[in-house]
Amino acid sequence: MTELQMLDYIKMDGKSIPNHVAIIMDGNRRWSKDKSKPFFAGHSVGAEVLREICKACIKAGVRILTVYAFSVENWHRSELEIKILLRLFKRFAIQERESLFENKVKMNIIGNIKTLPSSLQKELIRTAELTSMNTDLLLNLAINYGSRNEILDAVKHIVKLVEERKITAEQVDCNLISNLLYTAGMPDPDLLIRTSGELRLSNFLLWQLAYTEFWFTHKYWPDFRPLDLYTAIREYQDRDRRFGGTSISKLSAMEGEI
């Protein structure tokens, strides 16, 4: 099935399109190795792939795309790779502004960017501000992100609020925690995609993915295409989401038997 056919298929089927898609963009270095290219080649191609996937999300009707770009654990990589990655992020923030405007994409950063080089912080913040009025897609770039740190920061905030008697311990609930995360005000992801064949979350959106549907592919991120996104969405549409309870279809069937 072609990309256009699959797009028509998922939109005409009558089933819901995921509102929020999260992607762990994995396999850039292995792609470079398999192609006998410098290790940074996969990262560079991966940035181009992200541009196309943003466009594909808009065509499909996805409203939010959250991608794992740089984790807190990535600081353990070689000094050279980190330097190149940070340089690529800066280039992305500057060079993609036109494309983001053209496609009405709002860019947002989740993660602790305060420890990033000041010049990179400046360009990321500038692009976020310049695209803040765009409405067709919200692109969350998770940079220097770690979900455990995110949750820990929320807990520390809550402890401070209780100590200052601004809230009581009894007022602490799931909604309060959600509103203190980097994704505050956003719906949780409906669909998580991870490329490269790995079957783990790698400290990504641990709180937010509680009821998310997972889809894995052996393709490396530089080889990921809109058709793969649409295939993942199609499989998502065929799943029976229960959110910890009985599915709606089963409830309907039970009611018919009563």
Instruction: Answer yes or no: 188 catalytic.
Output: no
Instruction: Answer yes or no: 140 catalytic.
Output: no
Q: Which residues contact 47 (CB under 8 A, 6 or more apart)?
A: 88, 91, 92, 96
Which of 8, 13, 26, 112 is labelled catalytic?
26
Which of 13, 34, 74, 136 is labelled catalytic?
74
**Residues designated as active site:** 26, 74
